[in-house]
Amino acid sequence: MFNLEGYCDWCRKPAMVLQHQYCDGAKYYACEHCNDYAKIDIRQYDLAEMEKMNQK
């Protein structure tokens, strides 16, 4: 699961990370400790973006 070496975009520490992608295509990486927070953060952002797109 966490098979990439890199820096976590949430805590900024070097670690094994997992890639996440926002609905707009932006890619970010989260370590095991930040992964749950990252999933919540991305989901909230994606829902807000979808709502914004539906209002247009």
pLDDT range class, residue 11, cuts 50, 70, 90: very high
Q: What pLDDT was estimated at residue 48?
A: 96
pTM value is 0.85
User: Tens digits of per-residue pLDDT, 33-53?
Assistant: 999 999 999 999 999 999 998
pLDDT range class, residue 27, cuts 50, 70, 90: very high
Q: 48 to each of 3, 23, 43, 45, how far by Cα in Å? A: 30, 10, 9, 5
- In angstroms, the CA 29 to CA 10 distance is 8
More confident residue, 13 or 53: 13
